[in-house]
């Protein structure tokens, strides 16, 4: 009969589970704004240790526990967002947080399964940490793509507050930068489980490799940091004025507060125009109406621009009827509008927030349109994604625009750099996040985009953090949260002549790691049955095993006598090898020539 499929996972041992959870919390603390970024170099080691010598099922569970701890600690703000603005209540918000954390933890679960399932014994000590780092990098990249992607905690994000450690981003991107960080973690963990009585030279070499990784990343980062800082100082500069109106999310789209919201926005926009900057930039949907469909508000905006006498890049909801279906498609748009009423180039948000700006698969699964689910998902917008567009050109400068959530996806900034952007420009509304640490996490992920493309990055946020980031990745200015003001950013036009190695092809390292991870997963999956058969054959009792007794008084396999050790009776006339059993019955196994027997070793 075919073997029965076991649907339940074996429970993880308590020490391993605790170790995994501690590692997940440690990694969460490495991200902004705790200031504990050095934890990124050691926080993966507990997970590696927890998976050591575990079954694949238990290792999967250890990885999943790590991921759950990381998720719950990193984006706990999601519960408040869904509870307060999603209309789901406290229990509903907590449920959404748990579901998202549980789903994202599957990636770490797969990592644990790979670590345990790939038997590298006898293939060299280097294999384990190196393979683990490749797998972590590949899974980190996949997390940003599968089911539209949501990678709020890429490993390199923990280094975003340290621009001198981000230098390698211009070679291999943020996910590639995570590779040496992961490798150091796994080398340190492997050193802890390496047998101390053998391979001393290899231990020294591996410890040196870990130090070399840290020193290499740091040295390259320091050199490139100084180069780009010098370029930024010498470059031509333009003034951008960003409008930070700090409109509370609960009032923003409420028609009862529209006059107050528009009045505050107008006062700040006129203040910015009075400074005669190169360009005034509003935050995401800072004009809280549908341009063109709300006639009174549309006229209000045009009159404001005429009064200001300056062009402005306005965050607004807008759209048009679809040519094929006739259905009105609403876009989240950044639009360059002129004082004479002309409508200039625009950028429509391409990567929308699922269940925040649209409901996934609503056209494929009609039941999602039911009255009940529409009530539950009522806070989700009805936006449609925009197409790929070139940078917004104003005078002689091209602005590669990203809207809010898009700044966590490297591919969008890379496309803007490929298309010839001179400046990366992020407009966002982080009022959803309240007083959590999410705005700081969101802000510093934009620093990774600047370091990858070596372009300056300006950020206009509704309630902060607005700011300016140098091509080196250094934060030149960051506004306070919840301030209502206009900020003038002196943007250096550096780094626009030659695309970085990352933009020209270095970004392929992470997807190659993902392909290798997928191949490893399939290989282990396809060979699992044969490995189980070999394991059962090796564990089967041998004839006569476990019954012999001898001078040591032991019984069974590995007992006190030669018979017990060999698993069978000693043939007539055979002699017992010296050292096979002690006079006191200690039951130590005989040692092979040149290789000591180690407790727990799989031979």
Compute the distance between CA of residue 4 and CA of residue 591 in angstroms, rounded to an integer: 39
Residue 525 host element (H or E)? helix 509-539
pLDDT at residue 309, as a whole number: 96
pLDDT at residue 562, as a whole number: 36
Compute the distance between CA of residue 409 and CA of residue 151 in angstroms, rounded to an integer: 8
Q: Is 388 helix (H, G, I), strand (E, B) or coil?
A: coil
Beta bridge partners of residue 346, listed in sequence order: 335
pLDDT at residue 260, as a whole number: 93
Q: Give yes or no for a contact between 32 and 440, defined as CB atoms under 8 angstroms apart.
A: yes
Compute the distance between CA of residue 345 and CA of residue 335 in angstroms, rounded to an integer: 6
Q: In what order do the strands lie in the sheet with 397-403?
A: 392-394, 397-403, 423-428, 457-461, 467-469, 475-478
Give the rounded percent of residues in the chain with a pLDDT score beyond 70. 78
Phi and psi at 268, nearest 5°, equal: -70, -40
Q: What is the DSSP string of 311-380?
A: -EEEEEEEEEE-TTT--EEEEEEEEEE-TTS-EEEEEE--SPPBTTTB-TTTTT-GGGGSHHHHHHTTTS
For 246, 268, 289, 466, the CA distances from 251, given in Å and listed in that order, are 11, 18, 13, 21
236-350+385-492 maps to which CATH number?
A: 3.60.110.10
Task: Assess whether pLDDT exceeds 50 at residue 590.
Answer: no
Structure-derived torsion over alpha carbons of residues 131, 132, 135, 137, reported in degrees to the nearest 10: -110
Task: Assess whether pLDDT exceeds 70 at residue 583.
Answer: no
Global pTM reads 0.83
Burial 120-153 (b: 16+ CB within 10 A, else e): eeeeebeebbbbbbbbbbbbbbbbbeeeebbbbb
Q: Which of 29-33, 378-382, 599-603 has the highest mean pLDDT?
A: 29-33
Task: Assess whether pLDDT exceeds 90 at residue 5.
Answer: no
Task: Assess whether pLDDT exceeds 90 at residue 592.
Answer: no
Residue 23 CA neighbour count, 13 Å, CB half:
30
pLDDT tens column, 510-552: 999 999 999 999 998 888 767 666 666 665 554 444 444 443 3
Residues 6+ apart with CB under 8 A from 136: 44, 111, 155, 178, 179, 182
Q: Give yes or no for a contact between 94 and 75, defined as CB atoms under 8 angstroms apart.
A: no
Q: Is 453 helix (H, G, I), strand (E, B) or coil?
A: helix
Phi and psi at 578, nearest 5°, equal: -65, 135
Q: Give yes or no for a contact between 404 and 427, defined as CB atoms under 8 angstroms apart.
A: yes
Q: Give yes or no for a contact between 60 and 109, defined as CB atoms under 8 angstroms apart.
A: yes
Mean pLDDT of 500-508: 95
For 158, 162, 288, 358, 581, the CA distances from 448, given in Å and listed in that order, are 10, 10, 30, 27, 62
Q: Give yes or no for a contact between 450 and 473, defined as CB atoms under 8 angstroms apart.
A: yes
Phi and psi at 392, nearest 5°, equal: -80, 120
Name the H helices within 118-248: 127-142, 169-193, 200-234
Structure-derived torsion over alpha carbons of residues 251, 256, 258, 263, reported in degrees to the nearest 10: -100
- List active site positions: 284, 349, 404
Quote the longest CA-to-CA distance of the chain: 111
pLDDT tens column, 237-286: 999 999 999 999 888 888 899 999 999 999 999 999 999 999 999 999 99
Mean pLDDT of 156-174: 94
pLDDT at residue 403, as a whole number: 97
pLDDT at residue 196, as a whole number: 62
pLDDT tens column, 283-297: 999 988 999 899 999
Domain ranges in the chain are 14-230+509-524, 236-350+385-492
Mean pLDDT of 190-213: 73
Q: Is 475 helix (H, G, I), strand (E, B) or coil?
A: strand
pLDDT tens column, 330-346: 999 999 999 999 999 99
Q: Is 487 helix (H, G, I), strand (E, B) or coil?
A: strand
Least confident of 18-27, 121-130, 147-156: 121-130
Q: Which of 117-121, 127-131, 444-448 has the highest mean pLDDT?
A: 444-448
């Amino acid at each position: 009969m075919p073997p029965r499929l076991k649907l339940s996972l074996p429970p993880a041992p308590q020490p391993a589970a605790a170790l995994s959870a501690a590692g997940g919390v440690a990694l969460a603390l490495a991200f902004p704004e705790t200031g504990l970024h050095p934890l990124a170099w050691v926080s993966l080691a507990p997970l590696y240790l927890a998976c050591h010598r575990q079954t694949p099922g238990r290792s999967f569970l250890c990885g999943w526990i790590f991921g759950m701890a990381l998720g719950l600690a990193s984006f706990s703000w999601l519960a408040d967002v869904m509870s307060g603005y999603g209309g789901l209540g406290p229990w509903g918000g907590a449920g959404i947080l748990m579901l998202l954390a549980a789903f994202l933890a599957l990636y770490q679960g797969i990592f644990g399964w790979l670590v345990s399932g790939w038997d590298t014994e006898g293939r060299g000590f280097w294999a384990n940490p190196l393979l683990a780092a490749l797998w972590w990098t590949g899974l980190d990249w996949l997390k940003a793509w599968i089911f539209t992607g949501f990678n709020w905690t890429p490993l390199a994000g923990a280094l975003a507050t340290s621009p001198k450690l981000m230098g390698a981003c211009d070679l291999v991107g943020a996910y590639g930068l995570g590779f040496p960080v992961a490798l150091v973690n796994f080398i340190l963990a492997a050193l802890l489980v390496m047998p101390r009585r053998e391979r001393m030279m290899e231990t020294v070499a591996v410890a040196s490799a870990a130090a070399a990784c840290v020193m290499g990343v740091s040295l390259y980062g320091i050199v490139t940091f100084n180069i780009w800082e010098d370029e930024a100082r010498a470059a031509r500069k333009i003034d951008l004025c960003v409008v930070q109106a700090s409109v509370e999310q609960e009032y923003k789209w409420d028609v009862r507060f529209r006059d107050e919201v528009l009045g505050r926005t107008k006062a700040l926009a006129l203040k910015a125009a009075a400074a005669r900057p190169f360009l005034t930039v509003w935050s995401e949907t800072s004009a809280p109406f549908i341009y063109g469909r709300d006639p009174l508000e549309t006229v209000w905006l045009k009159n404001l621009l005429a009064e200001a006498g300056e062009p402005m890049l306005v965050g607004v909801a807008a759209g048009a009827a679809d040519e094929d279906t006739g259905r009105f498609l609403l876009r989240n748009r950044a639009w360059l509008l002129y004082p004479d009423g002309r409508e200039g180039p625009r950028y429509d948000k391409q990567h929308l927030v699922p269940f925040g700006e649209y409901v996934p698969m609503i056209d494929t699964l009609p039941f999602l349109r039911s009255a009940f689910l529409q009530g539950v998902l009522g806070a989700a917008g009805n936006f449609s994604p925009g197409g790929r567009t070139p940078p917004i050109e104003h005078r002689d400068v091209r602005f590669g625009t990203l809207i809010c959530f898009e700044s966590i996806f490297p591919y969008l900034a890379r496309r803007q750099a490929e298309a010839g952007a001179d400046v990366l420009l992020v407009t966002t509304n982080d009022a959803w996040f309240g007083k959590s640490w999410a705005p700081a996490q969101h802000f510093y992920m934009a620093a990774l985009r600047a370091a990858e493309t070596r372009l300056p990055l300006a950020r206009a946020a509704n309630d902060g953090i607005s700011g300016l980031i140098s091509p080196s990745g250094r934060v030149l200015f960051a506004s306070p949260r919840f301030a209502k003001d206009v900020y003038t950013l002196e943007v250096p036009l550096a780094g626009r002549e030659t695309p970085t190695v990352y933009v020209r092809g270095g970004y392929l390292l992470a997807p190659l790691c993902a392909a290798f991870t997928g191949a490893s997963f399939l290989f282990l999956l396809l060979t699992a049955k044969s490995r189980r058969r070999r394991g059962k054959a090796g564990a089967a009792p041998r004839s006569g095993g476990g019954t012999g007794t001898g001078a040591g008084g032991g019984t069974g396999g590995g007992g006190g006598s030669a018979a017990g050790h060999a698993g069978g009776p000693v043939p007539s006339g055979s002699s017992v090898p010296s050292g096979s059993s002690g006079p006191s019955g200690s039951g130590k196994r005989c040692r092979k020539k040149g290789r000591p027997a180690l407790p727990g070793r799989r031979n």
